[in-house]
Amino acid sequence: MTETQIFEPDGRAIPYAAEGEGPALVLVPGRASDIEMLGSLAHSVSQEDFRVVRIGLRAAADDTDAVAPSFREFAQDVVDVMDHLGIDDAWVGGHAFGGSIARRVSLDHHARVNGVLLLGVEAADMAPPLADGLPVLVVQGTEDEVTPPLNGETLQATAPGLVSVVPIEGGGHMFPATHVGATSWAIEDYLDWD
């Protein structure tokens, strides 16, 4: 796997790792995970001639009174790393909370996003809406109790022409790390990266 680096615009410490060459896929981990959780998946997808960039959540402030960053601030972190790496546009996705950040990126920076990849979907009341006109691929563990399959099905019902759902049989919440092959294949098959 690729070594994690830290990008520090305006004093924000944003971890990232990039590997592969070609069109870009940006992945953001869930709230309780770091970018290593998506490392095997990123490596697998990067073998299909794509540049996969994992962007983590910025380091927490030492000040206990500090307010947690908003979706908009996390989305700006993603775009700032994309700019740092010279990436004009990409599919942007993430696992659970990371997918909600990807949705915010697609709303705030629509022209930079080719599509949205959701690895498990947070409940509608916790996530930003979908951006108009962008395709969305939901890859969902069938045994996920944290971001249950119903969340993906509900999202698909709101935009059936844009949202596709691919189940990962037997996958729990951490399916991007435990079912790497099936998850990678679902992404590659959908995007026709072969």
Query: Could you tell me which residues are beta bridge partners of residue 165?
Result: 138
pLDDT digits (tens, 9 = 90+) for 20-49: 999 999 999 998 889 999 999 999 999 988
How confident is the model at residue 61, as a pLDDT?
A: 54
Of all residues in the chain, the percent with pLDDT exceeding 70 is: 94
Domains and CATH numbers, the chain: 5-191 (3.40.50.1820)
* Average pLDDT score over residue span 118-132: 92
How confident is the model at residue 65, as a pLDDT?
A: 57
* Average pLDDT score over residue span 115-137: 94
Provide, for the chain, the percentages of residues in helix, strand and coil under a 3-state DSSP scheme, each rounded to the nearest 5: 35, 25, 40
Of all residues in the chain, the percent with pLDDT exceeding 90 is: 80
Q: What is the DSSP letter of 145?
A: S
Q: Are 130 and 161 in contact (CB under 8 A)?
A: no
The most distant pair of C-alpha atoms in the chain lies apart, rounded to whole Å, by 49
pLDDT digits (tens, 9 = 90+) for 134-162: 999 999 999 999 999 999 999 999 998 99
How confident is the model at residue 78, as a pLDDT?
A: 97
Q: Give the pLDDT band (50/70/90) at residue 66.
A: low
Overall size of the chain counted in residues: 194
